[in-house]
Amino acid sequence: MHHLRRIAGVLVLAGLIPACGTGTSTPTLSVTAFIPGAVVNPIDGLVPLECQIFIGFSSPLNPATVSTTNFIINPSGLPALSTTSVIYVPALNEVIITPPILAAGTTYVVTVLPGVTDTSGDAFAGFQQGFATTAGANADTTGTIFGGISGAAGNGAGSIQVSWAAGASNATGPYTYDVYISTVPGGEDLTFPYGGAGTPFQDPLLTATVSGLASGQSYWFIVRAHSSRGNQDRNTVEAGPIVAP
């Protein structure tokens, strides 16, 4: 089972809200990872305003229970955001919540209701966790504008070169580009880019050579742009399958 590999403890207000659930049966489905914002703000370590929330689970979910009814995000003490989208990534046993651009300096609460089940119908006690967004001069309400990956091709034994067009200019400086890899379509771990978050694929360098790949193996790629204040675009444009030479 593929698990999220990046720990974002510095972002999470641990213990802000206790886990919920009132069922009498012993829960056998659990949350294994909670990552609000794949790209950490380099200045204050808080969650940027343009982000996604990644929630990993201990076993494959019943897709029918993955919905905005069971996955909720709201500012603390206020009604839930109404434009949140929720998708399930089976290859990772992961749910991705995509909110609108968040408010600066605000505590948000993510709630997963006990209505979520796995493919075996196992019980789930529910889950709640909070996080805080960046504020002041670090806050950026300008969304990133980027078209995603534009090409990928073999580039020597065990290497594939991926390319993209520059994102639109941004007030906080040139974008950094993150390359994500998978051996199955739609399986990219969007919290764990090639080389680590913030790899220096900056404008005007609009290519990256991904090396150390298995010759003859097929790969899929997604490229995302993020600003110096941590905002990251949420495109899902994928190139693949590309067979490593």
Domains of the chain: 31-138 (2.60.40.1220), 149-243 (2.60.40.10)
Rounded mean pLDDT, 92-101: 96
Q: What is the pLDDT of residues 4-22, one digit of tens each?
A: 333 333 333 333 344 444 4
Residue in 67, 39, 56, 100 with CA at minimum distance from that of residue 227: 39
Per-residue pLDDT, 198? 55
Per-residue pLDDT, 13? 37
CA 158 from centre of chain: 27
Tokens of 38: 């794949």
Banded pLDDT at 212 (limits 50, 70, 90) = very high
Rounded mean pLDDT, 170-178: 78
Tell me which of 219 and 168 has the higher pLDDT.
219
Tokens 């201990």 belong to: 58
The CA distance from 36 to 12, in Å, is 7
One DSSP character per residue, 64-117 reads GG-STTTEEEEETTSPPPSS-EEEEEGGGTEEEEE-SSPPTT-EEEEEE-TT--
Rounded mean pLDDT, 145-172: 89
Q: In the chain, what percentage of residues exceed pLDDT 70?
A: 82
Rounded mean pLDDT, 223-236: 90
Rounded mean pLDDT, 97-107: 95
Per-residue pLDDT, 1? 37
Tokens of 159: 């290497």
Banded pLDDT at 26 (limits 50, 70, 90) = low
Q: Is 146 helix (H, G, I), strand (E, B) or coil?
A: coil
Query: Is 30:124 a contact under the CB 8 Å cutoff?
Result: yes
Q: Which range among 23-32, 65-74, 153-162 shows the weakest confidence by mean pLDDT?
A: 23-32
For the whole model, what pTM was predicted? 0.85
